[in-house]
Amino acid sequence: MSSIELIEAAADRLRGHVRETPVLTSPFLDDMAGRRVLVKPECLQHTGSFKFRGAWSAISALNPDQRQRGVIAYSSGNHAQGIAMAATKHGIASVIVMPSDAPQLKIDNTRALGGEVVLYDRSSESREEIGEALAAERGLTLIRPYDEPQVIAGQGTVGLELARQVEAFGVEKADVLVCCGGGGLTSGIALALEKHAPGLRARPCEPDGFDDVKRSLASGQIQNNNASSGNICDAILTPQPGEITFPILQRLCGPGLSVSEDEALKAMALAFLRLKIVLEPGGAVALASALFRKDEIEGDDVVVVASGGNADPEVFAKALERLDA
């Protein structure tokens, strides 16, 4: 099957199991951004992020024998929760390899959703090595967070929904800003838009200093980040674009955008105030780009994919303080 056929098939498997998230708007955000802002809040998805889509897609695509032996994933948190819940709903076991510095909330949630959590040290160990060793040992199927066609297909269903939804708003041409880590969500959306809304163009959004996708797109070569942690946007800190995702991003996406930690926190506060949704820092960089990088965006409308809402309460309270400034 072609990539777009994989996405359309994933949409069939996801139906009734995944929420169709709405599109939200606010005249206050439109004023700030200088154009109409259409926000798709994937924080309202099961487990608080779009990751549940890819998890459900990948697990439901396994053959029954393979699925029965269980799955394993490595993740900073949102993929973890998505896999744990999707596995539990399929009645199978899941092992999740998580960095020991992941937010406690995400670790707790992953366990509560039925996942067996294995912690590792982000600075000295390779999650890929740990994941592959455990998979071999216990007969588990490894489900990669982004470099996996069925995961990309699941995330691409966000693009299918968007193509239909923005049409109802009369939008034919716009940039679609997507919070981007390894590129699974961005590439899936880009593939869906290519067929179903060719006037829309996906653009990856990242934190300053962790803008590997932006730099890779600009140079035409995969670039690494200098560090692997040390930014509040923990959900989207990845070493480099994926091997499967990067060629898709390169073929279909517009230039990347990046924002500061302070801008991500301000976007969280404005999403609270104007949209009544909870975003985590990594899930707010696309909205921050729409609000604070408006000169780098084209058109009368901009679409924002707000990818996740698993914010620690302390971080959220810190974001709210930005409203006084």
Question: Site residues (CB under 8 A) for a second copy?
Answer: 19-22, 24, 27-28, 41, 43-44, 48, 85, 105, 109, 112-113, 269, 272-273, 275-279, 309-310, 313, 316-317, 320-321, 323-324
CA-to-CA separations, 202 to 44, 57, 182, 226, 260, in angstroms, rounded: 21, 21, 15, 25, 20
What is the nearest approach in angstroms of a second copy to the Cβ of residue 159? 19
What is the nearest approach in angstroms of a second copy to the Cβ of residue 298? 27
Beta strands at 36-41 and 200-207: parallel, antiparallel or unpaired: unpaired
What is the nearest approach in angstroms of a second copy to the Cβ of residue 323? 5
Rounded to 5°, the CA angle 271-277-283 comes to: 70
What is the nearest approach in angstroms of a second copy to the Cβ of residue 315? 10
CA pair distance 223, 233, nearest whole angstrom: 19
What is the nearest approach in angstroms of a second copy to the Cβ of residue 267? 14
CA pair distance 276, 185, nearest whole angstrom: 23
CB 178 within 8 A of CB 149: no
Q: Which is nearer to a second copy, 13 or 201 (CB)?
A: 13
Q: Which is nearer to a second copy, 131 or 309 (CB)?
A: 309
Q: Which is nearer to a second copy, 97 or 275 (CB)?
A: 275
What is the nearest approach in angstroms of a second copy to the Cβ of residue 22? 6
Q: Which is nearer to a second copy, 25 or 66 (CB)?
A: 25
Quote the tokens at residue 227. 């560090």
Q: Which is nearer to a second copy, 137 or 325 (CB)?
A: 325
CA pair distance 304, 22, nearest whole angstrom: 12
* DSSP secondary structure string for all residues of 84-147: HHHHHHTT--EEEEEETTS-HHHHHHHHHTTPEEEEE-TTTS-HHHHHHHHHHHHTPEE--SSS
Q: Which is nearer to a second copy, 88 or 223 (CB)?
A: 88
Dihedral angle over CA of 304, 307, 308, 311, nearest 10: -50
CB 270 within 8 A of CB 231: no
Q: Which is nearer to a second copy, 113 or 217 (CB)?
A: 113
What is the nearest approach in angstroms of a second copy to the Cβ of residue 57? 20
